[in-house]
Amino acid sequence: MQTIIQGKEIETTYSVKAVRNEHGILTKKPELVKESKVVKWDNLFDPIDGKIEYNTPYFCSRNRYINISENEDVKVERQIYRADINSLIIHTDKVINEKEINKTKAENELQTVMAEYNHLIIDNDSQMKAYCNVNKIDVNTVDIDDLKKICGKNTVADIATLIWN
């Protein structure tokens, strides 16, 4: 029997989640969404004759790890026995390659939608608007969560008030 240790190639697709009401007004803070999926498993080494040993955990753990070099251990995600080729295939959490899809486009879209969200919140709050004006803060790029902390605002309650009024 042989043991085959594999790492993964993944594709990460980026998109923007912008929740709007029936009038097209943002109802929640937009967010960047990342979805990753394994597209291919590749061998990390030539197949090894026989079974391999797993690292001994220092504490009680259900996770199993193996060292793939002197200084790098990887988590075993799945173990598959293939009777047709008499091989044990071990899938690890080692990422060999990652392809990013729509990352730049999604980041640009997030900036645009965040500017819209910031204006929605700040333009309807005199205290926050005054703070930005006095301190010459760009409403399009300000971190709205930090601004809310400074002005003592409750994120969820404030946006609900803006939308329903």
- Strand intervals (E) in 18-144: 31-43, 48-49, 65-67, 73-82, 87-101
pLDDT digits (tens, 9 = 90+) for 31-82: 999 999 999 999 999 999 988 888 887 676 778 999 999 999 999 999 999 9
Are 122 and 164 contacting, i.e. CB atoms less than 8 angstroms apart?
A: no
Q: Is it the case that residue 87 has pLDDT exceeding 80?
A: yes
Report if pTM > 0.95: no
